[in-house]
């Protein structure tokens, strides 16, 4: 049985994953309107992944005899000044999620909640992977430059990353 404190914290994380899914959907929409095909596919898939993350915690809470709450989702940002800024926003967002996952790990450790810790270990690894993936794209933008040709080349690469993603296999 989950403690009330852990249950509450997990519901807060469910809400953050739901917001992440919505935020990535908004990023995909902006990229699609601008014609950045690779990033469009990347963010649509990322949005699906975040929903999977939300559901992974959601099911866990109910299976652990807690009470999972379907969250209200705030309106995310829909306008971005540049291609680069979308990835910067995505990275900043992931860093925030990583921080909250680490805080959850601390809480579950303090409470000797080994089942929650086991769930969270997956998220610790996933956050590292997600941050690295977005940082790599930003590194390439720095290297190649974000002029028209640079963005075209990087967007093609981002499209390949998106094609290799299988959100259903993530969880
Ligand atoms: Fe589920 Fe990207 O945090």
Ligand 1 center to 39 CA (angstroms): 17
CA distances from 30 to 14, 23, 63, 147, 152 (A): 25, 11, 37, 18, 16
CA distances from 82 to 31, 85, 93, 148, 166 (A): 10, 5, 17, 12, 27
Q: What percent of the chain has pLDDT over 90?
A: 90
At 86 the pLDDT is 98
At 166 the pLDDT is 75
Which pLDDT tens digit goes with each residue over 62-98?
999 999 999 999 999 999 999 999 999 999 999 999 9
Domain residues for the domain of 64 are: 4-164
Number of domains in the chain: 1
Nearest Cα neighbor of 170 from 18, 55, 30, 8 is 55
Domain membership flag for residue 169: no
Domain membership flag for residue 170: no
Domain membership flag for residue 171: no
Which pLDDT tens digit goes with each residue over 15-56?
999 999 999 999 999 999 999 999 999 999 999 999 999 999
Ligand 1 center to 149 CA (angstroms): 30
Nearest CA to ligand 1 atom 1: 50
Nearest Cα neighbor of 52 from 106, 130, 105 is 130
For residue 48 and ligand 1, the question of a CB distance below 6 A is answered with no
CATH number at residue 10: 1.20.1260.10
Domain membership flag for residue 53: yes
For residue 50 and ligand 1, the question of a CB distance below 6 A is answered with yes
């Amino acid at each position: 049985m989950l403690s009330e404190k852990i249950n509450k914290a997990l519901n807060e994380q469910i809400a953050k994953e739901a917001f992440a899914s919505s935020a990535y959907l908004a990023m995909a929409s902006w990229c699609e309107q601008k014609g950045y095909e690779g990033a469009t596919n990347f963010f649509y898939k990322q949005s699906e992944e975040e929903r999977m993350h939300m559901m992974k915690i959601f099911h866990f809470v109910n299976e652990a005899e807690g009470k999972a709450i379907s969250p209200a989702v705030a309106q995310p940002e829909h306008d971005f000044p540049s291609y680069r800024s979308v990835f910067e926003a995505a990275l900043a967002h992931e860093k925030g999620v990583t921080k909250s996952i680490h805080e959850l790990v601390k809480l579950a450790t303090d409470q000797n909640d080994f089942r929650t810790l086991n769930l969270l270990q997956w998220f610790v690894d996933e956050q590292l992977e997600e941050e690295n993936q977005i940082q790599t794209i930003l590194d390439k933008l720095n290297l190649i430059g974000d002029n028209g040709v640079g963005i075209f080349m990087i967007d093609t690469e981002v499209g390949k990353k998106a094609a290799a993603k299988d959100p259903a296999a993530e969880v």
